[in-house]
Amino acid sequence: MRRGFNGLALQVQEVLKRNPHAGDLFAFRGKRGDLIKILWHDGQGLCVFAKRLERGKFIWPLTKGDAVAITPAQMGYLLEGIDWRNPQRTDRPQLAG
């Protein structure tokens, strides 16, 4: 997870065969699983966002060297450290009082 803007953009271009300047989000997870970096081009330049979990690990999709597309909702779960493959709803109260 030492790569910055250029290293991550180059990895998107060379490994994933995608255009890092197309406006898509590209997420990269560290070896330990508690750090994630997201590369995004906002139309003016590249942005890198990083998040480290205090507890737990980011649930990562299984890949075979290819890019994996996930929905915006799944990305939200991923960033919260929730298992996005099978999110559990919390119980709603039955009574107001």
Q: What is the pLDDT of residue 70?
A: 87
Q: Which residues contact 51 (CB under 8 A, 6 or more apart)?
A: 35, 36, 79
Yes or no: say if 8 and 39 are a contact pair by the CB < 8 Å rule. Answer: yes
CA angle 49, 34, 21 (to 5 degrees): 30
Q: Pick from 40, 77, 71, 70: which is nearest to 56 by CA?
A: 77
Reported confidence tier of residue 90, pLDDT bands at 50, 70, 90: low
Average pLDDT, the chain: 87
pTM (predicted TM-score) = 0.80
| Whether pLDDT at 92 is above 90 | no
Is residue 64 domain-resident?
yes
pLDDT tens string 44-71: 999 999 999 888 888 887 777 778 888 8
Is residue 94 domain-resident?
no
Is residue 86 domain-resident?
no
Q: What is the pLDDT of residue 93?
A: 65
Is residue 96 domain-resident?
no
Number of domains in the chain: 1
Domain range spanning residue 12?
5-80
Q: Pick from 97, 93, 90, 63: which is nearest to 27 by CA?
A: 63
